[in-house]
Amino acid sequence: MQFPEFENKVVLVTGATGNIGTALCKGFDRNSAIVYQTDIRETDRPHFIPGDISDQSFIAGLVERIMNEQGHIDVLVNNAGICPRTPFFDIRLDEWQKVLSVNLTSMFLLSQACMNVMLAQQSGSIISLASLAGQVGGIAVGAHYSATKAAIECMTKTLARNGAQANVRANAVAPGIIDSALTDQATPGQRENFTKTIPLGRLGRVDEVAGPVLFLASDLASYITGFTVDINGGLRM
């Protein structure tokens, strides 16, 4: 599906070099958006700005640079995150704090900064990546990861309430088991077991995450805010 309304819209995607981040950037780019991308891992893509989004000073500089170059920010996609699989009793405080900083604090700080821009321009859309793990608890992932993803769903509702009067919408997507770098770490036996639990009988594709994000950012979703779209093949109904 094409979204002509994205032409010349400014989109900021975090975690841009990962599998899902790359699919998101390509999707917006195909629809003629101006896609700013950031990640701690560097790439030579256009409008790519490397940095640590858990660093408040980097976020301030990032938003300031985009505003200086374009004058507006229309869509923010909070996609960045890390997913250690450390067992619950083995999680150290420094690891706990690192996961919360990258996954949740960065989402809060960047959403806050972009929301101020969007409130002033009386339009905008923020979409954040939650997870099935945030709804059912960490099974194959760490407790710190699942806790951040649950918090992202709640934070999305707060953003939606704060932005609604200015036509700024906030939504989330909650992917289940997606065929990506994270599942590449699983053994063939583990992947087979994952597949057996999914009613649709397969892992999700990254484009099946990117598609709903583009929809939520589009005019087709202009009456949707504070909502989380589950993308899990029926694993949780």
Strand order in the sheet with 168-175: 34-38, 10-14, 75-78, 124-129, 168-175, 228-231
Residue 124 backbone class (left: φ over 0; alpha: ψ -120 to 50; beta: rest)? left
Distance linking the first and last C-alpha atoms of the chain: 26
Cα–Cα distance list, 177 to 141, 159, 165, 232 (Å): 11, 26, 35, 7
3-class SS shares of the chain: helix, strand, coil, % to 5: 50, 15, 35
Which residues are identified as catalytic? 145
Polymer length of the chain: 237
The H or E element spanning position 12 is strand 10-14
The H or E element spanning position 19 is helix 19-30
Q: How far apart are CA 154 and CA 63, in angstroms?
A: 24
